[in-house]
C-alpha cells in the first residue's frame, strides 16, 4: 500500500512539469484564457490545467484569478469543462490513499452552505459510531454562511490542519476527522475558495461543483452526499436551480468514478435555534446528547441514513437512519466527537468537560460575547417564518463573518432563536437573543432583525422538515 498522501506524479499534477516538451504548442497566457472564457468560448483541458497551474505556482495575479472566476460565473462551463476543472483542482496536491479494507467504509457529506448549518459537526462522529471512516475536508465561511472549520476553531486548541498521516491515525483511532485544505491537500481549491468569497462568485454552479468534488475526489470515498440548500438564505433561491446543481454534482461525480447523491434541503429559516460559531458548537453538542432542535436532528439522521445505504452498509435508507438515530441517542456519537476533539489538539480535560457537561457548563468553556440584547415580538401572531438571510447579514456585520480573505472573526457573536416556526406569540414576547462582542446593534440592524420575523394569523402548526428530496445516481432508485 502506498503511504497516505502519496503525491501524484508530476505528469499528472498541474504545475508538475517544467514546461511543454519539445515541439509542443506554447501554453496560452492567462489574459488569453480569460478573454476566451469572457467571450463565451469553451476552455480546453490544457487551458484549464494552465489556469490551475498558475494559481498554484503563484504566477497568476489576484486580479487575474478574480477576472477568470467572474468570466466563469457569467459564461458558465459545460459538464466536461467542470469535470476537468474538478480533476485539476484535486490533482493540485496530494491524493489520499487508505488501507484496501476501508473502501466501503469511507463516506463523507458536504453542504453548499446555510445559516445555522452545523450538521457536519454531528454527522461525522455519528457515522464514525456506525462503523464508517469519515475523512471530512471542509471549508471556512463563504459569503453570509458560516464555515465548519470556523465553528470548530471556536473550541480552544482545535487544529484543522492535519497531515495525511495524521488523518489516517485519526481514522484508525476515532473513525472521523474534520480538516481544512492545506498546501498538501487541494491547495488550488483553497486559493480559489478564498477568492470566490470576495469576488461575488460564490453562486457559480461550475465553481461550486468543482470546489466540492475536488475536495472529495482526493478522499477515495465509497459514497458522498451533498446537502444542496435552496431558499432565501441559500446560494440558489429556488428549488429548480438547486436541482440543477444537484444533478450536475451527481453527473460530474459519476464521471470521476464517485458515487454521489445530492439532498435538496430548504434554507429559508435558520437550521436549528443557534447561529454563530460557538453557539452552534453548543447546539451540535446538544444534538449529540440525543436532544436538540427537531429540524437539525431530522437532517442529520436522513443524510446519515442515505450515506449508509449508498455505501452498502445498510439495506435501505430507513435502516441506515435508524442506526444514526441510535448513535445519537446512546451517546456513542458524542464519544466519537470527544475523541476527535482530543485527536485534533483539544486538551483532554476540556474535551471531556464539553462532551459531558450541561449546556450552562459548556457555555463557560467556549468563547462568549460580553453583551446580549433580546428582541421582542412587535404583535400577536403565529411565527410563519424567521428569515435566515437578514439574520445572517446582520451577524456578518457584527463580526461573525468575513468581508475579505483572512479576516479575523468573532467566535462569540451570534443569535439564539427563542421561538419556533409555527408557534403562537404574544406581543412583547422575546423571540431573539443577539450576542454582541464590541459592536452594538445599530437602529438599522435592529430593524432588519425585526423584519426577519414574519407573523401570520393562522393557527399554530408543526414546521415541516427542511429535507425535500434526494437526487441519486442512475444506478440507484428510491426505496
Beta bridge pairs of residue 227: 111, 263
Catalytic choice (53, 144, 216, 323): 216
Q: Which of the residues 196, 273, 339, 402 is marked catalytic? A: 196
Instruction: Name the nearest CA neighbour of 284 among 62, 120, 54.
Output: 120
108, 117, 189, 197: the active-site residue: 108
Is position 109 annotated as part of the catalytic site?
Answer: yes
Among candidate residues 36, 37, 49, 109, the one labeled active-site is 109
Catalytic residue check, 196: yes
| Candidates 111, 112, 209, 266; catalytic one | 111
Active-site residue, selected from the candidate residues 86, 154, 199, 211 = 211
Is 37 one of the annotated active-site residues of the chain? Answer: no
Within a 10 A sphere around the Cβ of 464, how many other Cβ atoms? 12
Which of 144, 105, 444, 406 lies closest to 270, judged by CA?
Answer: 144
Please confirm, yes or no, whether 268 is among the known catalytic residues: no
**Which ranges in 269-417 belong to alpha helices (H)?**
277-288, 294-310, 317-329, 332-343, 348-356, 359-365, 388-395
Q: Where are the alpha helices (DSSP H) in 26-61?
A: 30-38, 45-57
Choice among 53, 133, 215, 402 that is catalytic: 215
Catalytic residue list contains 408: no
Strand pairing partners for 433?
374, 416
Q: In what order do the strands lie in the sheet with 414-417?
A: 274-275, 414-417, 430-436, 371-376
CA distance 220 to 227: 19
Helices 277-288/348-356 angle, 10° precision: 70
Calpha distance 122→119 (Å, rounded):
5
53, 73, 110, 435: the catalytic one is 110
Tell me, yes or no, if 148 is annotated catalytic: yes
Does residue 108 carry a catalytic annotation? yes
String of DSSP letters for 133-184: BEEEEE---BTTB--HHHHHTTSTT------HHHHHHHHHHTSEEEEE--SS
Question: What distance in Å separates the CA atoms of residue 312 and residue 105, rounded to the nearest whole number?
Answer: 9
The residue annotated as part of the active site, out of 82, 120, 148, 251, is 148
- Decide: helix, strand or coil at residue 373: strand
Sheet containing 223-230: order of strands: 107-111, 223-230, 260-266, 467-471
How many Cα atoms within 13 Å fall on the side-chain side of residue 44? Answer: 6
Annotation marks residue 474 as catalytic? no
Q: Which residues are catalytic?
A: 108-111, 148, 196, 211, 215-216
Amino acid at each position: 500500500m502506498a503511504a497516505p498522501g502519496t503525491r501524484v506524479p508530476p505528469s499528472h499534477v498541474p504545475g508538475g512539469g517544467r514546461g511543454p516538451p519539445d515541439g509542443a504548442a506554447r501554453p496560452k497566457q492567462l489574459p488569453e484564457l480569460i478573454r476566451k472564457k469572457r467571450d463565451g468560448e469553451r476552455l480546453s483541458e490544457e487551458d484549464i490545467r494552465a489556469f490551475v497551474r498558475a494559481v498554484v505556482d503563484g504566477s497568476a495575479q489576484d486580479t487575474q484569478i478574480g477576472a477568470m472566476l467572474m468570466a466563469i460565473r457569467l459564461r458558465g462551463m459545460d459538464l466536461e469543462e467542470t469535470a476537468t476543472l474538478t480533476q485539476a483542482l484535486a490533482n493540485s496536491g496530494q491524493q489520499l490513499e487508505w488501507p484496501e479494507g476501508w473502501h466501503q467504509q469511507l463516506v463523507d457529506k458536504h453542504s453548499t452552505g446555510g445559516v445555522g448549518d452545523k450538521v457536519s459537526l454531528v454527522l461525522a462522529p455519528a457515522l464514525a459510531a456506525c462503523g464508517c471512516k469519515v475523512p471530512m475536508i471542509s471549508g471556512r465561511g463563504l459569503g453570509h454562511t458560516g464555515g465548519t472549520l470556523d465553528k470548530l476553531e471556536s473550541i480552544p486548541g482545535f487544529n484543522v490542519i492535519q497531515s495525511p498521516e495524521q488523518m489516517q491515525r485519526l481514522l484508525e483511532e476515532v473513525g472521523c476527522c474534520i480538516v481544512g485544505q492545506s498546501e498538501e491537500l487541494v491547495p488550488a481549491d483553497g486559493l480559489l475558495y478564498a477568492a470566490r468569497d470576495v469576488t461575488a462568485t460564490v453562486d457559480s454552479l461550475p465553481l461550486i461543483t468543482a470546489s466540492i468534488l475536488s475536495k472529495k475526489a482526493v478522499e477515495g470515498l465509497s459514497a458522498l452526499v451533498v446537502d444542496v440548500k435552496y431558499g432565501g438564505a441559500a446560494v440558489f433561491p429556488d428549488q429548480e436551480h438547486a436541482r440543477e446543481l444537484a444533478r450536475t454534482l451527481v453527473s460530474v461525480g459519476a464521471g470521476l468514478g464517485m458515487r454521489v447523491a445530492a439532498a435538496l434541503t430548504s434554507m429559508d429559516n435558520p437550521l436549528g435555534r443557534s447561529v454563530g460559531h460557538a453557539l452552534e458548537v453548543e447546539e451540535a453538542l446538544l444534538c449529540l446528547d440525543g436532544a436538540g432542535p427537531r429540524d437539525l436532528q431530522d437532517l442529520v439522521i436522513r443524510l446519515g441514513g442515505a450515506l449508509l445505504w449508498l455505501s452498502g452498509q445498510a439495506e435501505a435508507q430507513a435502516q441506515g437512519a435508524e442506526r444514526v438515530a441510535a448513535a445519537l441517542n446512546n451517546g456513542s456519537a458524542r464519544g466519537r466527537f470527544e475523541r476527535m476533539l482530543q485527536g485534533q489538539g483539544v486538551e483532554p480535560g476540556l474535551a471531556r468537560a464539553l462532551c459531558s457537561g450541561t449546556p450552562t457548563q459548556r457555555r463557560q468553556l467556549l468563547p462568549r460575547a460580553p453583551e446580549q440584547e433580546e428582541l421582542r415580538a412587535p404583535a400577536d401572531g403565529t411565527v410563519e417564518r424567521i428569515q435566515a438571510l437578514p439574520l445572517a447579514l446582520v451577524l456578518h456585520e457584527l463580526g461573525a463573518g468575513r468581508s475579505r480573505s483572512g479576516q479575523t472573526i468573532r467566535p462569540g457573536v451570534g443569535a439564539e432563536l427563542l421561538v419556533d416556526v409555527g408557534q403562537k406569540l404574544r406581543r412583547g414576547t422575546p423571540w431573539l437573543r443577539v450576542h454582541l462582542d464590541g459592536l452594538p446593534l445599530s437602529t438599522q440592524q435592529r430593524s432588519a432583525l425585526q423584519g426577519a420575523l414574519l407573523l401570520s394569523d393562522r393557527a399554530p402548526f408543526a414546521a415541516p422538515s427542511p429535507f425535500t428530496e434526494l437526487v441519486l445516481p442512475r444506478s440507484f432508485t428510491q426505496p
